[in-house]
Amino acid sequence: MIIDTHTHFYDPYRPEGVPWPSPSNKLLYRTVLPEHLKPLAVAEGVTGTVVVEASRWLEDNQWILDLAQNDPFIVGFVSGVVPNQPSFPTELARFAASPLFRGIRVGGNALVDGEQGTFLDDMALLAARDLSLDVLVGDPSHFAGLFALAERVPDLRIVINHVGNMKIDGTALTPDWSERFRKAATHPNVYMKVSGLLENSTVQPAPTDVDFYRPLLDCLWDAFGEERLIFGSNWPVCEQAGTYAGCVSIVRSYFGEKGEEASANYFWRNAKRVYKWIERM
């Protein structure tokens, strides 16, 4: 079993359009739906996906949930409901009525002033509903806010997206990055989504040789262990740097070396721990 915990679905040709991607991005500005993902994913043994928001427009959350309702390949949705505003509790209650609603995602900037407004109360509400928080770290400075949140709301499961957007050059990590990952892992409620490898490679098109990524993967393995690393492809964004098959082959090679139990944890069990995704097939 493989659960891909990071895919995006959108349709720029809906009457209202989309806030992302830009029409200038000729690769990504196209309709991407489950019917486009499944031929790629099933060929690699993927059995389901957790969709991650690609829009902060409120009704796009409903659009994804409606899409998911009719397709059992979608086992969960990490939404774009925006915290730190008065409407958050009501909006969260509305969408969380669906069992496929598994959490929300915020950008790293939301953590910088994380003690302002209702942000901490909103995070506590997520935790009380047994939902998770994905964090798209955009800058190393965002880690301080992430650490503070992990301490302030210890019951909230937090998932760092795309290996913290660290640029990968095939060499040993700098002490600063090693320390960020080590410190993140000291918080038992923080998980690492091993996604965005191809996109974060400084060599493009991105290599598919596992040894190019090994220094980073070894650091993450040593820090987080086998129960807090999670698989995600970041499709279709990964296609800017390589192929879906290439994305899977790197982590399949690495975690396969760790044994059957560790590989199963990485490819689906840890995602179950974090997202508590719904078995539908």
Distances (CA, A) of 32 to 14, 120, 131: 12, 34, 26
Residue 115 — pLDDT band, cuts 50, 70, 90? Answer: confident
Q: Please give the Cα distance from 40 to 46 (Å, whole number).
A: 9
Mean local confidence (pLDDT), 162-171: 98
pLDDT value at 194 more than 90:
yes
SS3 content of the chain, % helix, strand, coil (to 5): 45, 15, 40
Task: Answer whether residue 280 is part of any domain.
Answer: no
Within a domain: 232: yes
Peptide bond into 236 cis (omega under 30): yes
Q: Sheet holding 74-79: strands in order across?
A: 3-7, 48-52, 74-79, 101-107, 132-136, 157-160, 190-194, 229-231
Residue 149 lies in a domain: yes
Q: CATH number for the domain including 162?
A: 3.20.20.140
The pLDDT of residue 112? 83
224 belongs to a structural domain: yes
> Region 209-214: what's the mean pLDDT?
98
Residue 281: CB atoms within 10 Å: 8
Exposure b/e, 102-139, CB count within 10 A at least 16 = b:
bbbbbebebbeebeeeebbebbebbbeeebbbbbbbee
Question: Percent of the chain, pLDDT > 90?
Answer: 96
What is the tens place of the pLDDT at every residue in 60-114?
Answer: 999 999 999 989 999 999 999 999 999 999 999 999 999 999 999 999 999 987 7
What total number of domains does the chain contain?
1
pLDDT at 184: 98
Beta strands 132-136 and 3-7 are unpaired
Give the model's pLDDT for residue 258.
98
The model carries a pTM of 0.97
The answer to whether the beta carbons of residues 32 and 9 sit under 8 Å apart is yes
Distance CA 80, CA 129 (A): 16
Give the number of other Cβ atoms within 10 Å of residue 74's Cβ.
Answer: 24
CA terminus-to-terminus distance, the chain: 12
Residue 36 domain-assigned?
yes
Asked whether residue 21 is assigned to any structural domain, the reply reads yes
Residues of the chain above pLDDT 70, percent: 100
**Residue at 281 is within a domain:** no
Mean of the pLDDT values across residues 142-155? 96
Residue 158 has pLDDT above 90, yes or no: yes
Sign of CA dihedral 174, 151, 123, 64: positive
Write down the pLDDT at residue 114: 75
Q: 48 falls in which pLDDT band (50, 70, 90)?
A: very high
226-275 tens-digit pLDDT: 999 999 999 999 999 999 999 999 999 999 999 999 999 999 999 999 99
Please report the pLDDT score of residue 281 as a whole number. 66
Q: Which of 48-52, 70-74, 109-113, 158-162 has the lowest mean pLDDT?
A: 109-113
Domain assignment of residue 201, given as a range: 3-275
Please report the pLDDT score of residue 262 as a whole number.
Answer: 98
Rounded CA-CA distance 145/130 in Å is 21
Is 84 domain-assigned?
Answer: yes
